[in-house]
Structure 1
Amino acid sequence: MAYGTTSRKIALVGIGKIARDQHLPALQASDDWDLAATVSRSGAIEGVEAHDDFDAFLTARPDVEVVSLCLPPQPRFDYAKKALLARRHVMLEKPPGQTLAEVHELERLAAKQGVTLYATWHSRMAAGVAAAKSRLVERVVQSLRITWKEDVRKWHPGQEWVFAPGGMGVFDPGINALSILTEILPEPVHLVSAELEFPENRDTPIAARLEFTGNVGAVFDWRQEGPQTWDIEIETNKGSIALRDGGARIEVDGAEQKLLDHPGEYPSLYARMAQLVANRESEVDLAPMIHVADAMTLGRRITVAPFEFDKETT
């Protein structure tokens, strides 16, 4: 089947906030995909065949050749492994797993089974990212500063998994910034130091400060209320470049640049997945996750006030 000539059947696994907010609209707007089934213990989508057991789904629907895993990272490896062993193509939400070793094993298994594995980084698909990357090719980066501050209560309401081991804490959004960083820089950088703030009652950090080679730094914080900040500011030998709103906008020397019409981050991911499946190729870039692993290794732990999703209990 040639890419783009007809739709492929796909299943969404894990019907939570990200699936409803991003994956479902992207699939509904795409001619490449036919949402044939969902798998979730607690959620469903009206008009779509629903399953609550993944093993039973794999047995019952061999015609659904692609699964998109929207689960939290903690259970994702087991689901992805089962899907790959059943020779299904697999699309992974970010981060692609709890650990680097998990994803390396999935990559090995996908190659052995002859199916596609796509570790997605949605922020790389933001409208301004490609423009920033192209402008940096002929410039020397003198400094780069990331400021990524948002309200965890708004974006992950009551989702305790983000503070559990494997949930990554503030690196769940922070890895989006790192995915852009590793996409746009002409030369790679590596982490040299980090400070990680852990609420005294939590297992993952709520804030982080990172310093990399090449005069690159980042500040992540999950406690920002009001306006949210997702900025990357770059000074070069030929002026300044800034990505705003998570890469949706680009400024050059302080002036906002007009961008071409953009389909959106998740529609772009699903278009890329369609290409990969058609070509029987995989795409697994772990550079953003390596930076997170390095931060957990090098980071100095700072204990801060306890955090609860319910403000009345803090």
Structure 2
Amino acid sequence: MARSVEREKRSKHLVEEWVGRVYTLICVGLLVLTIFSMVYFVASKGLSTFFRDGVNPIDLFTGVKWAPESEPPLFGALPFIVGSFSTSILAALIAAPLGFCAAVFIVELMPKFGRKVLQPVIELLAGIPSVVYGFVGLSVIVPFFRDIFPGQGLGLAAGGVVLSIMILPTITTIATDALAALPSGLKEGSYALGSTRWQTIYRIVLPTTLPALLTGIVLGIARAFGEALAVQMVIGNAPHIPRSLFESASTLTSAITLSMGNTIMGTAHNNALWTLALILLTMTFVFVFIVRWLERRSKV
């Protein structure tokens, strides 16, 4: 009797394990299929610009004039590429020091107050819709720049400030986790050798966690690179390469969102917009590879 009960339990466990494995494989297969389908669809549409419409890739990546409706049509995407990289890097330059300082404050200086008050407030920024950021930037940041600096206030500087606030939770959270995971023995050894708190933070804590901190910066840049609505509202959407931070510019995402609804599927203009989307997708993969590389370096 006991053996039969034991056999029934084993068979039941085997069935449950088999069902779990099948369900997991189906979910993973659907996920992989979805990703490859998206990549194939965007790539097929984006590459049509070169193979079907006859646009020279060099002209598209180095051209400075975007005039799809002219005769002949001109598809110079360099202003959009420069605008996307400029706003993303500017946002990272602003948000990275703030995020690192907030993480040091939360973990090293005032852990109780930081964990209970500061960290939840910073993480709340991640849940605010991007349209709210854009509206606040349009109502506050743009008039501020317009009153102090020459120009209309719309431009790379306004876009960079808005994006820096949006990516601040990402950088701060990753930096906080990295600092909290640091072995306490490193800091205790530094204190035992006579180092002060700031010497320990500057010479031990930050260099040791540098790969993780760089990971946070890369993820923040990737987040900023793909943002559309908030940047579109404050950057000015002018398809040219700006000569200063306070001139209007445009990004890949703003060019797509502003024009996609006004084009016909299959036309050269529509295919060119899909090419811009393919550039965005490619850069996302590049950022992911950089993050994986930094993670491997942090484990060495």
Which structure has the highest strand share of the two? 1
What is the TM-score when the length of structure 1 is the normalising length? 0.21
> Quick one: higher RCO (CA 8 Å, sep 6+), 1 or 2?
2
| Rg larger for | 2
